[in-house]
Protein backbone atom coordinates (compact mmCIF):
# COMPACT_ATOMS: atom_id res chain seq x y z
CA UNK A 1 0.00 0.00 0.00
CA UNK A 2 2.57 2.50 1.13
CA UNK A 3 4.72 1.35 -1.74
CA UNK A 4 2.12 2.61 -4.22
CA UNK A 5 1.84 6.06 -2.77
CA UNK A 6 5.12 6.99 -1.19
CA UNK A 7 4.39 10.69 -1.42
CA UNK A 8 1.63 10.37 1.16
CA UNK A 9 3.91 9.54 4.03
CA UNK A 10 6.16 11.91 5.90
CA UNK A 11 8.34 10.02 8.32
CA UNK A 12 9.01 13.13 10.33
CA UNK A 13 5.27 13.64 10.81
CA UNK A 14 4.79 10.06 11.90
CA UNK A 15 7.60 10.44 14.42
CA UNK A 16 6.00 13.63 15.73
CA UNK A 17 2.67 11.81 16.19
CA UNK A 18 4.17 8.84 17.99
CA UNK A 19 6.59 10.56 20.29
CA UNK A 20 5.67 11.91 23.65
CA UNK A 21 8.40 14.36 24.59
CA UNK A 22 7.10 15.06 28.06
CA UNK A 23 6.97 11.44 29.19
CA UNK A 24 10.29 10.74 27.56
CA UNK A 25 11.97 13.58 29.43
CA UNK A 26 10.47 12.34 32.69
CA UNK A 27 11.60 8.73 32.31
CA UNK A 28 15.00 9.84 31.09
CA UNK A 29 15.42 11.69 34.36
CA UNK A 30 13.94 8.99 36.56
CA UNK A 31 15.68 5.91 35.15
CA UNK A 32 19.24 6.95 36.10
CA UNK A 33 18.07 7.56 39.66
CA UNK A 34 16.51 4.11 39.93
CA UNK A 35 19.61 2.53 38.46
CA UNK A 36 21.77 4.47 40.91
CA UNK A 37 19.72 3.17 43.83
CA UNK A 38 20.08 -0.41 42.63
CA UNK A 39 23.81 0.04 42.11
CA UNK A 40 24.12 1.48 45.61
CA UNK A 41 22.94 -1.79 47.14
CA UNK A 42 26.24 -3.54 46.58
CA UNK A 43 28.26 -0.53 47.67
CA UNK A 44 26.19 -0.13 50.84
CA UNK A 45 26.47 -3.85 51.59
CA UNK A 46 30.24 -3.64 51.32
CA UNK A 47 30.34 -0.64 53.62
CA UNK A 48 28.01 -2.43 56.05
CA UNK A 49 30.20 -5.52 56.14
CA UNK A 50 33.36 -3.54 56.70
CA UNK A 51 31.74 -1.55 59.51
CA UNK A 52 30.43 -4.67 61.24
CA UNK A 53 33.88 -6.19 61.01
CA UNK A 54 35.57 -3.09 62.39
CA UNK A 55 33.00 -2.61 65.17
CA UNK A 56 33.20 -6.16 66.51
CA UNK A 57 36.97 -6.25 66.04
CA UNK A 58 37.31 -3.15 68.22
CA UNK A 59 35.20 -4.85 70.89
CA UNK A 60 37.55 -7.83 70.71
CA UNK A 61 40.59 -5.66 71.24
CA UNK A 62 39.11 -4.13 74.39
CA UNK A 63 39.44 -7.61 75.87
CA UNK A 64 42.61 -8.84 74.16
CA UNK A 65 45.87 -6.97 73.65
CA UNK A 66 46.25 -6.05 69.96
CA UNK A 67 50.02 -6.39 70.04
CA UNK A 68 49.78 -9.87 71.53
CA UNK A 69 47.20 -10.75 68.89
CA UNK A 70 49.43 -9.68 66.02
CA UNK A 71 52.67 -11.19 67.28
CA UNK A 72 51.53 -14.13 69.43
CA UNK A 73 52.54 -17.57 68.27
CA UNK A 74 49.98 -19.48 70.31
CA UNK A 75 46.31 -19.71 69.46
CA UNK A 76 44.44 -21.50 72.20
CA UNK A 77 41.12 -19.67 72.53
CA UNK A 78 39.42 -22.73 74.06
CA UNK A 79 41.93 -23.18 76.89
CA UNK A 80 40.00 -23.15 80.17
CA UNK A 81 42.41 -21.31 82.43
CA UNK A 82 44.32 -18.86 80.20
CA UNK A 83 43.12 -18.63 76.62
CA UNK A 84 45.72 -17.13 74.26
CA UNK A 85 44.98 -15.24 71.09
CA UNK A 86 48.10 -15.04 68.94
CA UNK A 87 46.99 -15.07 65.31
CA UNK A 88 50.30 -16.08 63.71
CA UNK A 89 49.56 -19.85 63.78
CA UNK A 90 46.35 -19.25 61.82
CA UNK A 91 48.17 -16.94 59.39
CA UNK A 92 50.86 -19.57 58.93
CA UNK A 93 48.19 -22.21 58.33
CA UNK A 94 46.62 -20.03 55.64
CA UNK A 95 50.02 -19.30 54.07
CA UNK A 96 50.86 -23.02 53.91
CA UNK A 97 47.67 -23.78 52.02
CA UNK A 98 48.15 -20.74 49.77
CA UNK A 99 51.80 -21.54 49.10
CA UNK A 100 51.10 -25.13 48.11
CA UNK A 101 48.15 -24.03 45.99
CA UNK A 102 50.35 -21.52 44.13
CA UNK A 103 53.01 -24.16 43.48
CA UNK A 104 50.35 -26.40 41.96
CA UNK A 105 48.21 -23.85 40.15
CA UNK A 106 50.60 -21.32 38.62
CA UNK A 107 52.70 -23.71 36.50
CA UNK A 108 49.72 -25.82 35.44
CA UNK A 109 47.48 -22.80 34.88
CA UNK A 110 49.99 -20.90 32.75
CA UNK A 111 51.03 -24.00 30.82
CA UNK A 112 47.36 -24.68 30.09
CA UNK A 113 46.91 -21.08 28.94
CA UNK A 114 49.92 -21.28 26.62
CA UNK A 115 48.66 -24.54 25.18
CA UNK A 116 45.14 -23.24 24.64
CA UNK A 117 46.12 -19.92 23.14
CA UNK A 118 49.19 -20.88 21.08
CA UNK A 119 49.01 -24.57 20.22
CA UNK A 120 45.50 -25.94 20.49
CA UNK A 121 43.39 -26.18 17.36
CA UNK A 122 39.93 -24.70 17.50
CA UNK A 123 38.44 -28.14 18.01
CA UNK A 124 40.67 -28.97 20.96
CA UNK A 125 40.07 -25.56 22.52
CA UNK A 126 36.32 -25.99 22.21
CA UNK A 127 36.68 -29.34 24.00
CA UNK A 128 38.99 -28.25 26.84
CA UNK A 129 37.56 -24.86 27.76
CA UNK A 130 34.17 -26.18 28.91
CA UNK A 131 35.92 -28.81 31.01
CA UNK A 132 37.92 -26.06 32.69
CA UNK A 133 34.72 -24.20 33.33
CA UNK A 134 33.13 -27.27 34.90
CA UNK A 135 36.18 -27.52 37.15
CA UNK A 136 35.58 -23.92 38.19
CA UNK A 137 31.95 -24.67 38.95
CA UNK A 138 32.44 -27.64 41.29
CA UNK A 139 31.20 -26.73 44.80
CA UNK A 140 34.12 -26.34 47.17
CA UNK A 141 32.64 -28.82 49.64
CA UNK A 142 33.04 -31.47 46.93
CA UNK A 143 36.67 -30.45 46.56
CA UNK A 144 36.96 -30.81 50.33
CA UNK A 145 35.82 -34.43 50.27
CA UNK A 146 37.97 -35.03 47.21
CA UNK A 147 40.95 -33.87 49.26
CA UNK A 148 40.05 -35.91 52.33
CA UNK A 149 38.93 -39.16 50.71
CA UNK A 150 40.98 -39.25 47.52
CA UNK A 151 44.12 -37.12 47.66
CA UNK A 152 45.03 -37.74 51.30
CA UNK A 153 44.94 -41.58 50.99
CA UNK A 154 47.16 -41.34 47.88
CA UNK A 155 49.61 -39.10 49.73
CA UNK A 156 49.55 -41.44 52.70
CA UNK A 157 50.31 -44.42 50.51
CA UNK A 158 53.40 -42.60 49.28
CA UNK A 159 54.47 -41.06 52.61
CA UNK A 160 52.86 -43.01 55.45
CA UNK A 161 53.94 -40.35 57.96
CA UNK A 162 51.35 -37.88 56.71
CA UNK A 163 48.44 -37.35 59.10
CA UNK A 164 44.85 -37.81 58.00
CA UNK A 165 44.34 -34.09 58.42
CA UNK A 166 47.24 -32.23 56.85
CA UNK A 167 48.12 -29.10 54.90
CA UNK A 168 49.49 -30.81 51.81
CA UNK A 169 46.33 -32.46 50.53
CA UNK A 170 43.94 -29.49 50.81
CA UNK A 171 46.74 -27.23 49.55
CA UNK A 172 47.02 -29.30 46.37
CA UNK A 173 43.25 -29.38 45.96
CA UNK A 174 42.89 -25.62 46.49
CA UNK A 175 45.53 -25.35 43.78
CA UNK A 176 43.43 -27.52 41.47
CA UNK A 177 40.43 -25.37 42.30
CA UNK A 178 42.16 -22.15 41.17
CA UNK A 179 43.74 -23.61 38.00
CA UNK A 180 40.73 -22.72 35.82
CA UNK A 181 40.81 -19.15 37.05
CA UNK A 182 44.50 -18.70 36.16
CA UNK A 183 44.25 -20.68 32.93
CA UNK A 184 41.13 -18.96 31.66
CA UNK A 185 42.11 -15.36 32.50
CA UNK A 186 45.68 -15.89 31.27
CA UNK A 187 44.39 -17.41 28.06
CA UNK A 188 42.21 -14.36 27.52
CA UNK A 189 45.23 -12.12 28.05
CA UNK A 190 47.36 -14.15 25.64
CA UNK A 191 44.68 -14.45 22.97
CA UNK A 192 44.30 -10.70 22.92
CA UNK A 193 47.94 -10.22 21.91
CA UNK A 194 47.66 -9.13 18.27
CA UNK A 195 48.60 -11.70 15.64
CA UNK A 196 50.73 -9.09 13.88
CA UNK A 197 53.19 -9.43 16.74
CA UNK A 198 53.36 -13.20 16.40
CA UNK A 199 53.86 -12.81 12.64
CA UNK A 200 56.75 -10.43 13.28
CA UNK A 201 58.49 -13.09 15.32
CA UNK A 202 57.64 -15.99 13.01
CA UNK A 203 59.05 -14.02 10.09
CA UNK A 204 62.38 -13.85 11.91
CA UNK A 205 62.50 -17.63 12.06
CA UNK A 206 61.18 -18.03 15.59
CA UNK A 207 59.68 -21.36 16.58
CA UNK A 208 56.25 -21.66 18.16
CA UNK A 209 57.75 -22.00 21.62
CA UNK A 210 59.96 -18.93 21.14
CA UNK A 211 56.98 -16.90 20.03
CA UNK A 212 54.90 -18.11 22.98
CA UNK A 213 57.55 -17.58 25.64
CA UNK A 214 59.38 -14.50 24.38
CA UNK A 215 56.64 -12.52 22.65
CA UNK A 216 53.19 -13.56 23.79
CA UNK A 217 53.95 -14.25 27.44
CA UNK A 218 55.71 -10.90 28.09
CA UNK A 219 53.05 -9.01 26.16
CA UNK A 220 50.31 -10.66 28.23
CA UNK A 221 52.23 -10.57 31.49
CA UNK A 222 50.12 -7.99 33.25
CA UNK A 223 46.97 -10.02 32.65
CA UNK A 224 48.66 -13.24 33.70
CA UNK A 225 50.06 -11.80 36.91
CA UNK A 226 46.78 -10.12 37.75
CA UNK A 227 44.89 -13.38 37.26
CA UNK A 228 47.41 -15.19 39.44
CA UNK A 229 47.09 -12.65 42.24
CA UNK A 230 43.29 -12.87 42.09
CA UNK A 231 43.56 -16.65 42.25
CA UNK A 232 45.87 -16.37 45.26
CA UNK A 233 43.33 -14.13 46.89
CA UNK A 234 40.75 -16.89 46.40
CA UNK A 235 43.11 -19.48 47.85
CA UNK A 236 43.60 -17.32 50.94
CA UNK A 237 39.85 -17.02 51.45
CA UNK A 238 39.06 -20.66 50.62
CA UNK A 239 37.10 -22.22 53.47
CA UNK A 240 35.34 -25.51 52.88
CA UNK A 241 38.28 -27.48 51.51
CA UNK A 242 40.49 -26.62 54.48
CA UNK A 243 37.66 -27.00 56.98
CA UNK A 244 37.06 -30.53 55.75
CA UNK A 245 40.57 -31.77 55.08
CA UNK A 246 43.15 -29.68 56.91
CA UNK A 247 42.21 -30.36 60.54
CA UNK A 248 41.90 -27.91 63.39
CA UNK A 249 45.26 -27.68 65.09
CA UNK A 250 46.77 -24.22 64.84
CA UNK A 251 50.54 -24.49 64.95
CA UNK A 252 53.38 -22.08 64.40
CA UNK A 253 55.64 -24.19 62.18
CA UNK A 254 56.23 -24.93 58.51
CA UNK A 255 55.35 -28.62 58.63
CA UNK A 256 52.82 -29.51 55.93
CA UNK A 257 52.27 -33.16 56.84
CA UNK A 258 50.36 -32.54 60.06
CA UNK A 259 47.01 -31.06 61.01
CA UNK A 260 46.77 -27.28 60.74
CA UNK A 261 44.14 -24.59 61.03
CA UNK A 262 43.62 -21.66 58.72
CA UNK A 263 41.91 -18.38 59.51
CA UNK A 264 38.82 -19.42 57.58
CA UNK A 265 38.65 -22.85 59.19
CA UNK A 266 38.79 -21.26 62.64
CA UNK A 267 35.85 -19.05 61.82
CA UNK A 268 33.90 -22.12 60.67
CA UNK A 269 34.79 -23.93 63.87
CA UNK A 270 33.47 -21.11 66.04
CA UNK A 271 30.38 -20.35 64.02
CA UNK A 272 29.31 -24.00 63.97
CA UNK A 273 28.58 -23.84 67.65
CA UNK A 274 31.69 -24.05 69.76
CA UNK A 275 31.24 -20.65 71.39
CA UNK A 276 28.37 -18.60 72.73
CA UNK A 277 27.31 -15.15 71.62
CA UNK A 278 29.12 -12.28 73.36
CA UNK A 279 32.09 -14.29 74.54
CA UNK A 280 35.65 -13.31 73.70
CA UNK A 281 35.83 -16.26 71.35
CA UNK A 282 32.77 -14.96 69.54
CA UNK A 283 34.43 -11.59 69.01
CA UNK A 284 37.70 -13.24 68.02
CA UNK A 285 36.18 -14.47 64.75
CA UNK A 286 35.62 -10.86 63.74
CA UNK A 287 39.24 -10.02 64.44
CA UNK A 288 40.32 -13.05 62.41
CA UNK A 289 37.82 -12.20 59.70
CA UNK A 290 39.10 -8.64 59.56
CA UNK A 291 42.68 -9.88 59.21
CA UNK A 292 41.56 -12.16 56.40
CA UNK A 293 39.75 -9.26 54.77
CA UNK A 294 42.92 -7.16 54.87
CA UNK A 295 44.86 -9.99 53.21
CA UNK A 296 42.45 -10.42 50.32
CA UNK A 297 41.97 -6.67 49.98
CA UNK A 298 45.74 -6.24 49.69
CA UNK A 299 45.84 -8.99 47.06
CA UNK A 300 43.06 -7.45 44.99
CA UNK A 301 44.72 -4.05 45.14
CA UNK A 302 48.01 -5.63 44.16
CA UNK A 303 46.31 -7.25 41.16
CA UNK A 304 44.89 -3.91 40.06
CA UNK A 305 48.22 -2.19 40.53
CA UNK A 306 50.06 -4.85 38.55
CA UNK A 307 47.64 -4.86 35.66
CA UNK A 308 48.03 -1.09 35.37
CA UNK A 309 51.72 -0.75 36.08
CA UNK A 310 53.15 -3.64 34.08
CA UNK A 311 51.01 -3.38 30.99
CA UNK A 312 53.16 -3.60 27.89
CA UNK A 313 51.73 -0.92 25.67
CA UNK A 314 50.77 -2.00 22.20
CA UNK B 1 51.70 24.72 -6.05
CA UNK B 2 54.44 22.61 -4.68
CA UNK B 3 55.32 19.60 -6.67
CA UNK B 4 56.65 16.45 -5.19
CA UNK B 5 59.87 15.52 -6.87
CA UNK B 6 59.61 11.97 -7.98
CA UNK B 7 62.86 10.07 -8.29
CA UNK B 8 63.27 9.12 -11.91
CA UNK B 9 63.37 5.56 -12.98
CA UNK B 10 67.04 4.97 -12.81
CA UNK B 11 67.93 3.74 -16.24
CA UNK B 12 71.64 4.36 -15.81
CA UNK B 13 71.77 2.01 -12.90
CA UNK B 14 69.97 -0.67 -14.77
CA UNK B 15 72.53 -0.82 -17.53
CA UNK B 16 75.10 -1.99 -15.01
CA UNK B 17 72.91 -4.92 -14.07
CA UNK B 18 74.68 -8.13 -14.85
CA UNK B 19 72.90 -10.34 -17.28
CA UNK B 20 73.53 -13.66 -15.61
CA UNK B 21 72.34 -13.19 -12.07
CA UNK B 22 71.34 -16.32 -10.27
CA UNK B 23 67.78 -16.91 -9.13
CA UNK B 24 66.75 -16.61 -5.51
CA UNK B 25 63.21 -17.77 -6.04
CA UNK B 26 61.94 -19.96 -8.82
CA UNK B 27 58.22 -20.51 -8.66
CA UNK B 28 56.81 -23.26 -10.83
CA UNK B 29 53.14 -23.96 -11.32
CA UNK B 30 52.17 -22.66 -7.90
CA UNK B 31 48.51 -23.01 -6.99
CA UNK B 32 46.98 -21.96 -3.72
CA UNK B 33 43.51 -22.35 -2.27
CA UNK B 34 41.85 -20.73 0.72
CA UNK B 35 39.36 -23.50 1.42
CA UNK B 36 37.62 -23.72 -1.97
CA UNK B 37 38.72 -20.28 -3.16
CA UNK B 38 41.41 -20.69 -5.81
CA UNK B 39 43.60 -17.69 -4.96
CA UNK B 40 46.77 -18.34 -6.95
CA UNK B 41 46.68 -20.03 -10.34
CA UNK B 42 49.66 -21.62 -12.03
CA UNK B 43 52.16 -18.98 -10.98
CA UNK B 44 55.54 -19.12 -12.72
CA UNK B 45 58.05 -16.51 -11.61
CA UNK B 46 61.83 -16.39 -11.64
CA UNK B 47 63.17 -13.82 -9.21
CA UNK B 48 66.82 -12.82 -9.46
CA UNK B 49 69.15 -11.85 -6.67
CA UNK B 50 70.13 -8.27 -5.83
CA UNK B 51 67.16 -6.84 -7.59
CA UNK B 52 64.04 -5.14 -6.45
CA UNK B 53 61.05 -7.05 -7.76
CA UNK B 54 57.74 -5.27 -7.44
CA UNK B 55 54.41 -7.07 -7.43
CA UNK B 56 51.47 -4.94 -8.45
CA UNK B 57 47.82 -5.57 -9.07
CA UNK B 58 44.36 -4.66 -7.83
CA UNK B 59 43.08 -5.66 -4.38
CA UNK B 60 42.39 -9.34 -4.04
CA UNK B 61 44.59 -10.32 -6.98
CA UNK B 62 46.73 -12.59 -4.82
CA UNK B 63 49.87 -10.46 -4.57
CA UNK B 64 49.99 -10.47 -0.75
CA UNK B 65 49.12 -14.15 -0.75
CA UNK B 66 52.00 -14.85 -3.09
CA UNK B 67 54.61 -12.95 -1.07
CA UNK B 68 53.45 -14.64 2.13
CA UNK B 69 53.82 -17.98 0.43
CA UNK B 70 57.48 -17.23 -0.25
CA UNK B 71 58.35 -17.55 3.46
CA UNK B 72 55.42 -19.85 4.17
CA UNK B 73 53.81 -17.32 6.51
CA UNK B 74 50.60 -18.14 4.65
CA UNK B 75 50.50 -21.39 6.62
CA UNK B 76 49.36 -19.51 9.74
CA UNK B 77 45.95 -19.56 8.03
CA UNK B 78 44.63 -23.08 8.67
CA UNK B 79 42.49 -23.56 5.55
CA UNK B 80 45.33 -22.94 3.06
CA UNK B 81 46.33 -25.64 0.57
CA UNK B 82 49.09 -25.37 -2.00
CA UNK B 83 50.42 -27.32 -4.96
CA UNK B 84 53.43 -26.72 -7.16
CA UNK B 85 57.00 -25.81 -6.39
CA UNK B 86 58.79 -22.79 -4.99
CA UNK B 87 62.54 -23.25 -5.17
CA UNK B 88 64.46 -20.99 -2.89
CA UNK B 89 68.13 -21.23 -3.82
CA UNK B 90 67.36 -24.47 -5.65
CA UNK B 91 65.53 -26.15 -2.79
CA UNK B 92 61.78 -26.67 -2.76
CA UNK B 93 60.43 -24.90 0.33
CA UNK B 94 57.40 -27.19 0.35
CA UNK B 95 59.54 -30.28 0.90
CA UNK B 96 58.58 -32.20 4.01
CA UNK B 97 62.12 -32.00 5.37
CA UNK B 98 62.43 -28.29 4.71
CA UNK B 99 62.79 -26.40 8.00
CA UNK B 100 60.45 -23.44 7.86
CA UNK B 101 62.35 -21.63 10.65
CA UNK B 102 65.52 -21.89 8.58
CA UNK B 103 63.74 -20.44 5.56
CA UNK B 104 62.45 -17.51 7.59
CA UNK B 105 65.91 -16.90 9.00
CA UNK B 106 67.13 -16.44 5.44
CA UNK B 107 64.08 -14.57 4.21
CA UNK B 108 63.05 -11.54 6.23
CA UNK B 109 59.68 -9.89 6.04
CA UNK B 110 58.33 -6.40 6.55
CA UNK B 111 54.60 -6.17 7.03
CA UNK B 112 51.91 -3.81 5.86
CA UNK B 113 51.34 -2.32 9.29
CA UNK B 114 54.38 -1.67 11.45
CA UNK B 115 54.40 -4.46 14.03
CA UNK B 116 57.24 -3.87 16.48
CA UNK B 117 57.22 -5.98 19.63
CA UNK B 118 56.05 -4.20 22.79
CA UNK B 119 59.64 -4.07 23.98
CA UNK B 120 62.45 -1.55 23.93
CA UNK B 121 63.91 -0.47 20.59
CA UNK B 122 67.09 -2.35 21.47
CA UNK B 123 65.24 -5.57 22.34
CA UNK B 124 63.22 -5.35 19.14
CA UNK B 125 66.36 -5.41 17.03
CA UNK B 126 68.16 -7.93 19.23
CA UNK B 127 65.21 -10.35 19.24
CA UNK B 128 66.15 -12.11 16.00
CA UNK B 129 69.84 -12.58 16.81
CA UNK B 130 68.92 -13.70 20.33
CA UNK B 131 66.55 -16.47 19.29
CA UNK B 132 69.25 -17.71 16.96
CA UNK B 133 71.65 -18.03 19.85
CA UNK B 134 73.64 -14.78 19.83
CA UNK B 135 73.83 -13.71 23.48
CA UNK B 136 77.12 -11.76 23.63
CA UNK B 137 76.23 -8.22 24.69
CA UNK B 138 79.04 -6.57 22.71
CA UNK B 139 78.15 -8.37 19.51
CA UNK B 140 74.47 -7.56 20.04
CA UNK B 141 75.34 -3.89 20.55
CA UNK B 142 77.14 -3.92 17.23
CA UNK B 143 74.32 -5.71 15.45
CA UNK B 144 71.76 -3.25 16.84
CA UNK B 145 73.75 -0.22 15.74
CA UNK B 146 74.53 -1.66 12.32
CA UNK B 147 70.91 -2.66 11.70
CA UNK B 148 69.52 0.68 12.82
CA UNK B 149 72.04 2.48 10.63
CA UNK B 150 71.13 0.15 7.77
CA UNK B 151 67.49 1.12 8.20
CA UNK B 152 68.43 4.83 8.31
CA UNK B 153 66.97 5.38 11.75
CA UNK B 154 70.05 5.23 14.00
CA UNK B 155 70.38 9.00 14.39
CA UNK B 156 66.76 9.33 15.40
CA UNK B 157 66.78 6.66 18.09
CA UNK B 158 70.37 6.24 19.28
CA UNK B 159 69.69 8.13 22.53
CA UNK B 160 66.50 6.25 23.35
CA UNK B 161 67.28 2.62 22.66
CA UNK B 162 65.78 1.63 26.01
CA UNK B 163 62.39 3.14 25.25
CA UNK B 164 59.38 1.17 24.10
CA UNK B 165 59.23 1.01 20.31
CA UNK B 166 55.54 1.89 20.47
CA UNK B 167 56.48 5.43 21.45
CA UNK B 168 57.80 6.05 17.93
CA UNK B 169 55.86 7.41 14.98
CA UNK B 170 54.42 5.01 12.39
CA UNK B 171 57.18 5.72 9.90
CA UNK B 172 59.86 5.21 12.52
CA UNK B 173 58.20 2.01 13.69
CA UNK B 174 58.27 0.68 10.14
CA UNK B 175 61.98 1.42 9.84
CA UNK B 176 62.47 -0.30 13.22
CA UNK B 177 60.74 -3.32 11.69
CA UNK B 178 63.08 -3.12 8.70
CA UNK B 179 66.06 -2.88 11.07
CA UNK B 180 64.72 -5.86 13.01
CA UNK B 181 64.66 -7.75 9.75
CA UNK B 182 68.21 -6.64 8.80
CA UNK B 183 69.56 -7.72 12.19
CA UNK B 184 69.71 -11.36 11.14
CA UNK B 185 71.25 -10.39 7.78
CA UNK B 186 68.79 -12.23 5.59
CA UNK B 187 69.32 -13.07 1.96
CA UNK B 188 65.93 -11.85 0.77
CA UNK B 189 63.61 -9.22 2.20
CA UNK B 190 59.91 -9.54 1.50
CA UNK B 191 57.92 -6.33 1.86
CA UNK B 192 54.14 -6.51 1.93
CA UNK B 193 52.92 -3.01 1.14
CA UNK B 194 55.43 -1.55 3.60
CA UNK B 195 54.42 2.06 3.03
CA UNK B 196 50.64 1.78 2.80
CA UNK B 197 50.21 2.88 6.43
CA UNK B 198 52.79 5.68 6.21
CA UNK B 199 52.72 9.37 5.39
CA UNK B 200 54.43 10.59 2.17
CA UNK B 201 57.66 11.67 3.88
CA UNK B 202 58.08 8.37 5.68
CA UNK B 203 57.20 6.62 2.44
CA UNK B 204 59.98 8.46 0.65
CA UNK B 205 62.45 7.45 3.37
CA UNK B 206 61.48 3.81 3.11
CA UNK B 207 61.75 3.96 -0.68
CA UNK B 208 65.23 5.43 -0.50
CA UNK B 209 66.08 2.74 1.97
CA UNK B 210 64.93 0.03 -0.42
CA UNK B 211 67.25 1.47 -3.09
CA UNK B 212 70.14 1.32 -0.61
CA UNK B 213 69.38 -2.18 0.56
CA UNK B 214 69.35 -3.56 -2.96
CA UNK B 215 73.15 -3.68 -2.94
CA UNK B 216 73.15 -6.40 -0.31
CA UNK B 217 69.73 -7.94 -0.45
CA UNK B 218 67.21 -9.24 -2.91
CA UNK B 219 63.96 -7.43 -2.31
CA UNK B 220 60.47 -8.44 -3.27
CA UNK B 221 57.92 -5.74 -2.64
CA UNK B 222 54.15 -5.81 -2.94
CA UNK B 223 52.70 -2.40 -3.59
CA UNK B 224 49.39 -0.79 -4.39
CA UNK B 225 51.17 2.26 -5.60
CA UNK B 226 52.22 2.02 -9.22
CA UNK B 227 54.42 5.10 -9.05
CA UNK B 228 56.24 3.43 -6.22
CA UNK B 229 56.80 0.31 -8.28
CA UNK B 230 58.07 2.45 -11.14
CA UNK B 231 60.36 4.43 -8.86
CA UNK B 232 62.05 1.65 -6.97
CA UNK B 233 61.87 -1.65 -8.78
CA UNK B 234 63.95 -3.36 -11.44
CA UNK B 235 61.37 -5.93 -12.40
CA UNK B 236 57.63 -5.81 -12.04
CA UNK B 237 55.09 -8.59 -11.95
CA UNK B 238 51.48 -7.72 -12.64
CA UNK B 239 48.98 -9.99 -10.89
CA UNK B 240 45.32 -10.20 -11.79
CA UNK B 241 42.74 -12.61 -10.37
CA UNK B 242 45.41 -14.90 -9.01
CA UNK B 243 47.41 -15.09 -12.22
CA UNK B 244 50.60 -13.45 -13.39
CA UNK B 245 49.59 -11.42 -16.40
CA UNK B 246 53.00 -10.03 -17.14
CA UNK B 247 56.47 -10.14 -15.62
CA UNK B 248 59.23 -8.06 -17.11
CA UNK B 249 61.66 -5.20 -16.67
CA UNK B 250 59.89 -2.37 -14.84
CA UNK B 251 60.70 0.05 -17.65
CA UNK B 252 59.05 -2.15 -20.18
CA UNK B 253 55.96 -2.81 -18.05
CA UNK B 254 55.37 0.88 -17.55
CA UNK B 255 56.33 2.14 -21.00
CA UNK B 256 55.44 -0.65 -23.35
CA UNK B 257 53.44 -3.45 -21.72
CA UNK B 258 52.80 -6.41 -23.95
CA UNK B 259 49.44 -7.35 -22.42
CA UNK B 260 46.43 -5.16 -22.86
CA UNK B 261 45.25 -5.80 -19.29
CA UNK B 262 48.55 -4.51 -17.92
CA UNK B 263 48.18 -1.37 -19.93
CA UNK B 264 44.62 -0.88 -18.71
CA UNK B 265 45.74 -1.28 -15.13
CA UNK B 266 48.77 0.98 -15.20
CA UNK B 267 46.89 3.66 -17.07
CA UNK B 268 44.28 3.54 -14.30
CA UNK B 269 41.38 2.10 -16.25
CA UNK B 270 40.56 -0.30 -13.42
CA UNK B 271 41.80 -1.39 -9.99
Quote the pLDDT of residue B20. Answer: 67
pLDDT category, B32, cuts 50, 70, 90? very high
- Cα nearest neighbour of A194 on chain B: B115
Residue B75 has pLDDT above 80, yes or no: yes
Identify the CATH assignment for A86-270 out of 3.40.190.10, 3.40.50.620, 2.60.40.10, 1.10.3720.10: 1.10.3720.10
pLDDT category, B22, cuts 50, 70, 90? confident
Task: For residue range B141-181, list pLDDT tens digits in order.
Answer: 999 999 999 998 999 999 999 999 999 999 999 999 999 99
The number of helix segments (H) and strand segments (E) in chain B equals 11, 10
Quote the pLDDT of residue A17. Answer: 79
CA distance B94 to B97: 8
A312 — contact with chain B (CB < 8 Å)?
A: yes
Task: For residue range A176-232, list pLDDT tens digits in order.
Answer: 999 999 999 999 999 999 999 999 999 999 999 999 999 999 999 989 999 999 999
Task: Please give the residue that has the higher pLDDT: either B83 or A6.
Answer: B83
B81 — contact with chain A (CB < 8 Å)?
A: no
Nearest to B111 by CA among B27, B209, B222, B29: B222
CA distance B204 to chain A (A): 23
Residue B33 has pLDDT above 50, yes or no: yes
Residue B17 has pLDDT above 50, yes or no: no
Percent pLDDT > 90 in chain A is 68
Radius of gyration of chain A (CA): 27
In the predicted model, what is the mean pLDDT of chain A? 90
Contact A155, A161 (CB under 8 A): no
Of B116, B127, B166, the CB nearest to A204: B127
Strand blocks (E) in chain A? 75-76, 84-85
CA distance B268 to chain A (A): 32
- Tell me the domain boundaries of chain B: 114-186
Percent pLDDT > 70 in chain A is 96
Is the ipTM, as predicted for this complex, more than 0.95?
A: no
Task: For residue range A3-47, list pLDDT tens digits in order.
Answer: 555 567 788 888 887 777 778 888 888 999 999 999 999 999 999
Task: Please give the residue that has the higher pLDDT: either A277 or B131.
Answer: B131
Quote the pLDDT of residue B101. Answer: 92
pLDDT category, A312, cuts 50, 70, 90? low
Quote the pLDDT of residue B185. Answer: 92
Of A194, A204, A314, the CB nearest to B131: A204
Task: For residue range B190-239, list pLDDT tens digits in order.
Answer: 999 999 888 888 899 889 999 989 888 999 999 988 889 999 999 999 99
Quote the pLDDT of residue A275. Answer: 73
Q: Which residues contact B38 (CB under 8 A, 6 or more apart)?
A: B31, B32, B242
Residue A166 has pLDDT above 60, yes or no: yes
Task: For residue range A255-302, list pLDDT tens digits in order.
Answer: 999 999 999 999 999 888 767 788 889 999 999 999 999 999 999 899
Taken in order B195, B198, B204, B209, the sign of the CA dihedral is negative
A199 — contact with chain B (CB < 8 Å)?
A: yes
Q: What is the mean pLDDT of residues A138-166?
A: 94
- Tell me the domain boundaries of chain A: 86-270
Q: What are phi and psi of A67, to 5 degrees?
A: -65, -45
A203 contacts in B (CB within 8 Å)? 71, 73, 104, 108-109, 111, 181
Amino acid sequence: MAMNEPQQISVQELIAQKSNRGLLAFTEKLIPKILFLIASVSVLTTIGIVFTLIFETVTFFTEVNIFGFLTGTEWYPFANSTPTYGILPLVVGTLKITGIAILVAVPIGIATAIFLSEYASDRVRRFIKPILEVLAGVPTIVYGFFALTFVTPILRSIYPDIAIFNALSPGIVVGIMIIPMIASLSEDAMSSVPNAMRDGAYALGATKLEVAVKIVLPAALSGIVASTVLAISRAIGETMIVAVAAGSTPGFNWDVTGSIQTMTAYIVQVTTGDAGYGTTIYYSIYAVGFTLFLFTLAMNMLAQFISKRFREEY
Amino acid sequence: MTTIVKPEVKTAEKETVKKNKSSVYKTEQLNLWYGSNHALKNIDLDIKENEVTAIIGPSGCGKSTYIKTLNRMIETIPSVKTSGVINYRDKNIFDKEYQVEELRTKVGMVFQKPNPFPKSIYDNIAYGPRIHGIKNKKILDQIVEKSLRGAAIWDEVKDRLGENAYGLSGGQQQRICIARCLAIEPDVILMDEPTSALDPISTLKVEELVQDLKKDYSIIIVTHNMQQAARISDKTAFFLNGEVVEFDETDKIFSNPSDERTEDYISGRFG
